[in-house]
Amino acid sequence: MKHFVRLTLPACILAANAAYAQPQNVEEIIVVGVQDTHTVRTDDTMVAPADTAELLKRMPGANVNKNGELTGIAQYRGMYGDRINVSINGTHINSGGPNAMDAPLHYAPVALIESLSISRGIVPVSMGQETIGGHMHAETYSGEFGTSDSFGFAGRAYFGGQTVNDGQVGSALLSVANRNHILRTFLMNEKGDNSEFPGGTILSSEYDRDRWDIGYSYQRGNHELSVDFARNNTLQAGTAALPMDILALDSDLFRTKYVYSGIDYRVTAQYSNDDILHIMSNNQLRRPPQTAAGTPDGMRFRDALTTSDSQGFSIKVERDVDNGVWKVGIDGNLAEHNALIMNPNVAAFYIDNFKDIERDVLGVYVEREMSVGDYMGLEYGVRYNRVSTDSGQVGANLNPMNATAGMPVMMNNMAQMLLNRFNTSDLSQSDGNLDWFTRLSIESGFDTTWYVGAARKSRAPSYQERYLWMPLTSTGGLADGKNYTGNPDLKPEVAHEIEVGFDYDGDAVSIYPRVFYRDVSDFIQGVPSTDMMSINFAQMMANMGMGAPDPLQFANVDAKYYGFDVEASFALSNNFTLRSVASIVRGKRKDISDDLYRISPDNMLVALDYHRNNWSTSFETAFYANQDHVSATNLEAKTSGYTVVNLTGRWNVSPDLEVGAGINNLLDEEYEDHLAGYNRAYNPEIATGSRLPGLGRSLYARMMWYF
């Protein structure tokens, strides 16, 4: 009977992390397991877009909410944004701005990462603090230790380009290492012009990003230590689905990790610090606001200065026992946010969008993985998170010219009433959230392992959902064009979920289907505001051409998600392989008859791969169905189905050199990506408020040289 097993538990538990490859002198333990992750390695996958989040389209249940070419927000089984726990090298990075222009995967460029993984379905509590919507992990290249005391030089050069936006990228990873030391550095620049679609060009979609890293790792005996610093500078990036573009994103990222590997236990400690300065504008990369006569309207010019400073830490202890492993740990993420809106033409104008925001999460967990006989595996765990949030006192001046009558006076008076009400509210909030999970796997013979899992997961409100005091669109990248206000008294979301599936690993066929259902109490959703001050203020803004009337307010409702996803492969011969990934998800309100906003349509990826000794090709077809399940509350538009055909080829010129080329959207299909946002920038070929189109045919190529 064939076993799908995990061998030497610590090595399996951390299999996605190459830095944990330290051997251990422990007894081999067999635990029945299932395919609980899906990993895409960038060395093995031809990648054209600059945004790493685009890789999610190749994974079961996953997709990306695209607000710009560098602004992809991860989605998994219908949930997205702050509901998805995304880690990079084991640490969490908080977005620098309130609209997730720099969503976490922004800090893991394609040219730098080694792999991107998702945890399929029920997520163990050890994977992260708030995993109500799932967990994803990006691993970057870090170099390898040598095998002797002599130092050797190694590296990787990566060059690529694509025609859809004349995009280009160049990067180099350089390392000097022996058996005890690695000194590494990474350099990258990537840029692209405005992207093309079959009907024209998407204005405000260009980008320019620089990145450099320096790091050091040391290992001796049972000890391993690493220290890394990165400077990620996005010089500019268009985000046509949002009210502003990225003018600058200056980010300093620090991380250190220590691992001690004993005979039957392991201790891992990590600390990180992220300092992000984010500048946005509605008048630099896009055409600035215009008057009715077609001239720039200086009173509607807006810039924004936002900052994020966060510290993260974790300590995890893993102990091997006779039939499995125990894991216990503590972790924390302490974040501060500020956002100031200004008018570059009028110095006295300002709005404290967010002021001295604090969001601190402290967690503790215990987890067990064990074998139950020869054919059954069991995992379970429990976590407690304490989430504390607070805000400083906000201010605003919407009447910078000191007018005595007219719209500026009325708007400023209304703004003063809104901020006074906010400042006198009880803004300090604390939530105690309990999570648990359990997963059972049973090997039934015939190359099949059955799987069932259940969990309770929670998430405290984001700072935008609690502290957005004025009707604005600073909503973590929802990009629905609606103005929102927050609610400091929001309750945490609590989801109860169950998942069932099996793994079949035959000689030629492998298939891993999953069915899931998630019931969410106190789901945080925008509902029509009943607050007259907010309604009147939003109407005034709409009358001046700024935003939409009829604002929404974040509130607790009840919701549910359910669906099916599968990955499969079939070896047709020694050279041909047929593979497929399919996903179906529904997200619905339970308190009213309405669908949830921005849910991925039913989709399937089918690819035929051909492999020879040193070259390969792939013919890939992505099918997307009509999306008729849309949110009436968010005025979401339906989209039609479409099919996109892609073709790639790779040639290993030598063991150290690979070149590849491909064509995305081979047939130049004109389509609307349902997960793209609505146009907020001036675009002659795209109506304001209509969904941004999918990109047209693009030829791309890359070269990777290892030395």
Mean pLDDT for back-to-back runs of 10 residues, the chain (707 residues): 30 33 41 81 84 95 97 98 97 96 96 94 96 97 95 96 97 97 98 97 98 98 98 96 97 98 97 98 96 91 98 98 96 98 96 98 98 94 98 95 80 95 97 98 95 98 98 96 97 98 96 98 98 94 87 98 98 97 98 98 98 95 98 97 97 96 97 96 95 97 95
Whole-angstrom distance, CA of residue 139 vs CA of residue 16: 8
Tell me what pLDDT residue 42 has.
86
Question: What single string gives the DSSP state of each residue in 644-671?
Answer: EEEEEEEEEEETTEEEEEEEESTT----
What's the confidence (pLDDT) of residue 182?
A: 98
First to last CA, the chain: 43
What is the residue extent of each domain of the chain? 5-294+306-558+574-706
Question: How many Å apart are CA 562 and CA 496, to the nearest integer?
Answer: 12
Q: Which residues pair with 556 in a beta bridge?
A: 524
Residue 245 CA to residue 205 CA, distance in Å, equals: 9
The torsion angles phi and psi of 536, rounded to 5 degrees, stand at: -65, -40
Write down the pLDDT at residue 31: 55
CATH (residue range 5-294+306-558+574-706): 2.40.170.20
Query: How high is the pLDDT of residue 28?
Result: 45
Can you give the pLDDT at residue 16? 33
User: Are 25 and 44 contacting, i.e. CB atoms less than 8 angstroms apart?
Assistant: no
Rounded-to-integer distance, Cα 462 and Cα 460, Å: 7
